[in-house]
A and B are shown apart, each in its own frame.
Chain A
């Protein structure tokens, strides 16, 4: 490691985006995601998650149901780690990482995963099959029953030997992985960082959100006058980040904002204060103005409170509205994976110019203070933003752009 002393007044860390992929209910891989967004094909289906018995819709990754982790990693088996494994194999992502590992050395690669559920679904299964109030032999998996479960799995699977951690700030978890990775790279702690977000369907989440009366019995309708709650989704998404000055980079993380509402554990600040400040900080860090943004991928969960407060925050930041949509109608709300699922969607907009509409938005809520897209459009601007907000009042906004 190169010796460095702590500098003062450095500019916002940036990071080149070398590769990315995602697995969600609507698509496996980047080409599939682009087609689904363009053609308006949703991945939401009526809830059939085993033993849940709730009248709602979910974003279930069907390909995960029969996916297996490889034989040597069976001791780390869980639905969440299977989903991570499925995602790593898409768009040659694992091979792209292997190339960088070979070139830079495994100890020079870091890993930061965002997750809120980790492998809690596996812990639920262990509790449903207790043996004398102890976990049965098959569930004796210390590396699985903890918040870093997916981080440990992905680091092991990819052979990453540098610093490895998970971020768990509820639904902003995998937005914040980009900010932390950019700081690691700026400081030279590592020469590349694999970031990701993985959350999977489980009873804790389905019944937890049901207890808060926040799940809809219909496909979710973000920003609609009749919106009445979320659909829980699952997803795995990854990006490989390199230092900003790496030759050949086309896209980069340019800015980010991380704030707290300091208001309520489970309700957003009524004026969207924390969301507004996160977006402003991200723009400032990127050195751009609101008019430079060609698309905002919204948190847009379709709860009455989220969409109302996010709209207030948007109206303050984007006085002249820019194209913005929620893509939760394709994937459901993927919770701890939502930040990077939104980021991957925003990267698709940057590379294709196609701006997705808000699926299931039939009657825009006239009381909301920001006009979101009801029809798809195009953009040629060089910057996009994505928002993720979580319980505990934890907010993250990211700005990506073309390298200049």
Chain B
């Protein structure tokens, strides 16, 4: 069992522009607008993939909510499938006779593209990571961020982004949707609601909609932003489960 704190959250998705909107979506949107985070210079914004813009937007939101300097926090990014739009572009191009790839789209095809974009935009020299575990990706990334906090008691940024699955890939993974969330994880402290994380050897199932593992922690970000309690169970392995208990925020 470990006790920690979640000190800020950010989110972006259908009818959601910040973490407090989660669970209170006012209108259903078919198309989610792509955010334009102010920390990315305008000339870079056009070249930045949607997944990177989403990641940086929610990361900045979470840091602002936590009062955390964006230039001085470690980060763990995740995505169930990575940037499917770029995967689709690469594979379509390579299936043709003319296999000339765009160098910009190639370097953005690495799964840590959003993490790189974040560190560059915020001039942040601390470590970033990208971890994935298919439908369990959000849980493993949360665990990874938590172990960083546990190793030296300094805060860590957790960022999860899933984007719609285009073209032929959707025949394997379904269409997905846009869902981006971020949380700042820190050691337990008096100003934040306690959060208890417990691991055991129980078998639980992978979410059926494996293309959007971000959804597994989606309600937690909403609860954190509103100071509400939340309980969730996430699969980490065939016989490995993580239980998260977020308590109600204490009265100030």
Instruction: Please list the residues of chain A having a beta carbon within 8 angstroms of any beta carbon in chain B.
Output: 1, 3-10, 13, 52-53, 105-107, 110-111, 116, 120, 123-124, 126-128, 130, 133-135, 139-143, 145-148, 151-152, 155, 160-170, 176, 180, 183-184, 186-187, 189, 203-204, 207-212, 258-266, 273-274, 277, 390-394
Contacts and interface: CB of A to CB of B under 8 A. Distances in A.
17 contacts: A8-B187, A120-B87, A127-B92, A142-B172, A142-B210, A145-B172, A151-B133, A162-B237, A162-B240, A163-B143, A183-B147, A207-B106, A209-B106, A212-B103, A263-B120, A392-B113, A393-B116
Nearest to A278: B127
A7 B150 contact: yes
Contacts of A152: 134
A251 B34 CA distance: 49
Contacts of A128: 94-95
Contacts of B38: none
B168 A133 contact: yes
Given A8-B153, A262-B119, A107 B237 contact: yes
B188 A6 contact: yes
Given A155-B238, A167-B131, A393 B119 contact: yes
A393 B120 contact: yes
4 A-B pairs with the lowest CB-CB distances in the bound complex, closest first: A392-B116, A258-B127, A134-B171, A208-B106
Nearest to B150: A6
B200 A1 contact: yes
Interface string B212-241: 000000000000000000000000111110
A195 to B, nearest CB: 13
B50 interface: no
Given A130-B168, A390-B110, A13 B151 contact: yes
Contacts of A183: 147-148, 150-151
B187 to A, nearest CB: 5
Given A116-B110, A274-B125, A4 B143 contact: no
Nearest to B171: A134
Nearest to B170: A134
Contact of A4 (B1, B82, B129): B1
- Highest count of chain A CB atoms <10 Å: which of B119, B127, B130, B133: B127
A135 B168 contact: yes
A161 B241 CA distance: 10
Contacts of A204: 90-91, 94, 101, 106, 109
A53 B100 CA distance: 12
Q: Which of B4, B123, B132, B171 has the most CB of A within 10 A?
A: B132
B87 A394 contact: no
Given A211-B101, A391-B112, 17 more contacts: A1-B198, A4-B2, A107-B240, A124-B90, A124-B94, A127-B95, A130-B168, A146-B210, A161-B201, A162-B236, A162-B240, A163-B236, A164-B133, A165-B132, A183-B150, A207-B100, A211-B102
A260 B151 contact: no
A331 B171 CA distance: 37
B124 interface: yes
A168 B112 contact: yes
B153 to A, nearest CB: 4
Contact of A265 (B116, B126, B188): B116
